[in-house]
Amino acid sequence: MAYGQKIIDHYENPRNVGNFGTQADVKGRRDIGVGLVGAPECGDVMQLQIKVNPGTGVIEDAKFKCFGCGSAIASSSLATEWLKGKSLDEGLSIKNTQIVEELSLPPVKIHCSVLAEDAIRAAINDYRTKNGMEARERTAASAH
Amino acid sequence: MAVKLPIYLDHAATTPCDPRVVEAMLPYFTIVFGNPGSRNHRFGWEAEEAVDTARGQVADLLGADPKEVVFTSGSTESNNLAIRGAALMYEKAPAGSGQPRGHIISAIHEHKAVLDPCKRLQKEGFDVTFLEPPKDGIITAEAVAAALRPDTVLVTIMWANNEIGSINEVPRIGALCHERGVLFHTDATQWAGKMPVNVERDSIDLLSMSGHKIYGPKGVGALYVRRRKPRVRLVPLQDGGGQERGFRSGTLNVTGIVGLGKACEIAKAEMDADGERILGLRRRLEDTITGRLDVTQINGHREKRVPNITNISFGFVEGESLMMAVKEIACSSGSACTSASLEPSYVLKGLGVGDDLAHSSLRLSLGRWTTPEQIDYTAGAVVEAVSRLRKLSPLYDMHKEGIDVSKVEWAKH
């Protein structure tokens, strides 16, 4: 697959790789939200962790790990960049189509952006439910 | 000396032409350009002579009579002609009779150029049994024997598999078919020219091969069609001038045929030395990679494989991103993301390799000019790439934390 420069850049220099602890560690931490989406047999799994300031509700840090193709790695790397400094509501408003546009994902790779959006929502909702809020769908409708 | 990049390790897809092949072909473009079908002038005679020489060279590689060699455009055409041609010629019941028109035995990990003609015949009223291989990928004579029926007209089992290199029990399957009076076709695209063939000893009725897999040109191949015990007849795929004993109408591709012949001659002379050297290099590659990385798996039978192909799965990394990481090495992957269909390799799935490991596979195939330096560079690059991608992989973290990734309830998407 011939990819655009932005995908290659994220793939070769992924931003914010890592986590805030093992699966067991972060499970009990109320300031961390975890999203783990996809499945190995489908060829991609994304793990997104966000660290939220409980006082301001702002996402202070975000880390990812990804098993997947170059587009999946680039989509999750980009997601961490966009999440940092955003409020939870702002985070939920990120649409997969914005990721497609930013990275110029080819049509067969749109599902990678959908997965990244799923990971964002899962991480934010994990934080919300850990802190007594109900899980929320996207704040703005997006088409995909 | 630094290794020249990129490194070509995709010889199971295609090979470069041997310069000796190109040299043999050149005069037939411009000087001896005649149509071998022109029976009444020197230009035609000389072209026919060249085709006859090539026919002899191909026959010599296969242990066949030159009259049994039919030139085609390559293995895909040879497979179609053999399978469709034999099924239609030897059908047991006419179409629309309510009975199966005949029974064919093949296997689920055959090349598409065998599977798809079989599936078309299935739609047209033939019964087809697709055998499922065990984990080592090898179809045995016993597996074929168990599937034979009184109305079986054709068994088509490839010699060596193109993705994993595993070797099916061709001579034993051939002997079984001859004993039961059933025609036997083998797609020998990855075998002929690399390993010895003798159509008599190996009891083969129909054999497909391609020029470009054995350092010959693309667009030319051959079908061996047995002429005695039994005399095999085929319904041709195309009608026209009746060339190639009526099996394959169309003006002969003289330059290509000359190249194929020369490639066969070289292959026969150098097969043993090439095979041994390439096997040594493949061992070096596999030993280095599996010695330096955990959770790797060599797919297919460990020993019963053609020497030039290795197919390795790397747990917890995905094939397409792995290929991006080793972009200086030209190879193939079973990953869905590298296929047009977005499905992981049906060959690996057919062997019972889990979808996760099928997504994580690389096929590296070596060739006549592969060097030890290239192999060492490749092994190092693969180890480095897998290590880097595992640092990115949530699955590798889970594995190290003692979580069995295959037991996690994943949300399907």
CATH number of the CATH domain containing B222: 3.40.640.10
In this predicted model, which residue has the larger pLDDT, A42 or A20? A20
The answer as to whether B250 is a domain residue is: yes
DSSP lists the bridge partners of residue B361 as B313
Whole-number percent of chain B with pLDDT over 90: 89
Number of Cβ within 10 Å of residue B228's Cβ equals 9
Q: pLDDT band for A144, please (50, 70, 90 cuts).
A: very low
Could you give the strand order of the β-sheet that contains A44-52, starting from the edge strand earlier in sequence? Answer: A32-39, A44-52, A59-67
The Cα B114–Cα B80 span in angstroms is 7
Q: Looking at the structure, do residues B276 and B263 belong to the same domain, yes or no?
A: no
With beta carbons less than 8 A apart as the criterion, state whether B278 and B285 touch: no
The answer as to whether B109 is a domain residue is: yes
Name the closest residue on chain A to residue B400, using Cα atoms.
A22
What's the DSSP call for residue B206?
Answer: E
- Interface residue of A20, A48, A69 to substitute, partner B, most B CBs within 10 Å: A69
pLDDT tens readout for residues B232-279: 999 999 999 999 999 999 999 999 999 999 999 999 999 999 999 999
Q: Is the Cβ of B359 closer than 8 Å to some Cβ of chain A?
A: yes
With beta carbons less than 8 A apart as the criterion, state whether A19 and A49 touch: yes
Q: Looking at the structure, do residues B108 and B166 belong to the same domain, yes or no?
A: yes
Backbone angles phi, psi at A97, to 5 degrees: -65, -30
- Per the structure, the complete domain to which residue B92 belongs is given by 19-267
Task: From chain A, pick out residues whose CB is under 8 angstroms from the CB of B361.
Answer: none
Q: In this predicted complex, what is the ipTM? A: 0.90
Among the candidates B252, B267, B282, a domain finishes at B267
Is it the case that residue B412 has pLDDT exceeding 60? no
Q: Looking at the structure, do residues B295 and B223 belong to the same domain, yes or no?
A: no
| Residue A61: partners with Cβ closer than 8 Å, 6 or more residues away | A16, A20, A50, A51, A84
pLDDT at B1: 62
pLDDT at B358: 82
Name the closest residue on chain B to residue A15, using Cα atoms.
B392
Under an 8 A CB cutoff, do A67 and B393 touch?
A: yes
Give SS3 for B411.
coil
Number of Cβ within 10 Å of residue B16's Cβ equals 14
User: What total number of domains does chain B contain?
Assistant: 2
pLDDT tens readout for residues B55-88: 999 999 999 999 999 999 999 999 999 999 999 9
With beta carbons less than 8 A apart as the criterion, state whether B210 and B75 touch: yes
The Cα B80–Cα B206 span in angstroms is 11
Among the candidates B249, B267, B285, a domain finishes at B267
Q: Looking at the structure, do residues B263 and B354 belong to the same domain, yes or no?
A: no
Whole-number percent of chain A with pLDDT over 70: 94
DSSP lists the bridge partners of residue B127 as B103
What's the DSSP call for residue A41?
Answer: G
Average pLDDT over residues A8-27: 93
Q: Is the Cβ of B320 closer than 8 Å to some Cβ of chain A?
A: yes
With beta carbons less than 8 A apart as the criterion, state whether B140 and B304 touch: no
Q: Which amino acid is at B29?
A: F
Q: Is the Cβ of B324 closer than 8 Å to some Cβ of chain A?
A: yes
The Cα A6–Cα A74 span in angstroms is 8
Number of Cβ within 10 Å of residue B340's Cβ equals 7
| Residue B287: partners with Cβ closer than 8 Å, 6 or more residues away | none
Q: Is the dihedral of CA B341, B342, B345, B349 positive or negative?
A: negative
The Cα B271–Cα B368 span in angstroms is 10
Q: How far is B408 from chain A (nearest CA, A)?
A: 9
Q: Looking at the structure, do residues B263 and B325 belong to the same domain, yes or no?
A: no
Is it the case that residue A115 has pLDDT exceeding 50? yes
Q: What is the CATH number of the domain that holds B368?
A: 3.90.1150.10
Backbone angles phi, psi at B385, to 5 degrees: -65, -45
Q: pLDDT band for A141, please (50, 70, 90 cuts).
A: very low
Q: Looking at the structure, do residues B253 and B291 belong to the same domain, yes or no?
A: no
pLDDT at B334: 75
Average pLDDT over residues B384-409: 92
Q: Looking at the structure, do residues B231 and B109 belong to the same domain, yes or no?
A: yes
The answer as to whether B396 is a domain residue is: yes
The Cα B174–Cα B199 span in angstroms is 9
Q: Looking at the structure, do residues B174 and B31 belong to the same domain, yes or no?
A: yes
Least confident of B29-38, B142-151, B271-280, B398-407: B398-407
| Long-range contacts from B240-248, C-beta under 8 angstroms, 24+ separation | B241/B37, B243/B37, B244/B70, B244/B71, B245/B67, B245/B70, B247/B70, B247/B81, B247/B85, B247/B223, B248/B70, B248/B71, B248/B72, B248/B77, B248/B81, B248/B223
**Average pLDDT for chain A:** 91
Q: Known catalytic residues of A?
A: 42, 112
With beta carbons less than 8 A apart as the criterion, state whether B85 and B111 touch: no
Q: How far is A111 from chain B (nearest CA, A)?
A: 9
pTM of the shown model: 0.92
Q: pLDDT band for B27, please (50, 70, 90 cuts).
A: very high
Q: Looking at the structure, do residues B233 and B275 belong to the same domain, yes or no?
A: no
Is it the case that residue B127 has pLDDT exceeding 70? yes
Is it the case that residue A143 has pLDDT exceeding 50? no
Q: Looking at the structure, do residues B26 and B112 belong to the same domain, yes or no?
A: yes
The Cα B226–Cα B230 span in angstroms is 7
Under an 8 A CB cutoff, do B395 and A19 touch?
A: no
pLDDT tens readout for residues B311-341: 999 999 998 899 999 999 999 987 766 666 6
Is it the case that residue B352 has pLDDT exceeding 90? no
Q: How far is A28 from chain B (nearest CA, A)?
A: 17
Task: From chain A, pick out residues whose CB is under 8 angstroms from the CB of B356.
Answer: 40-41
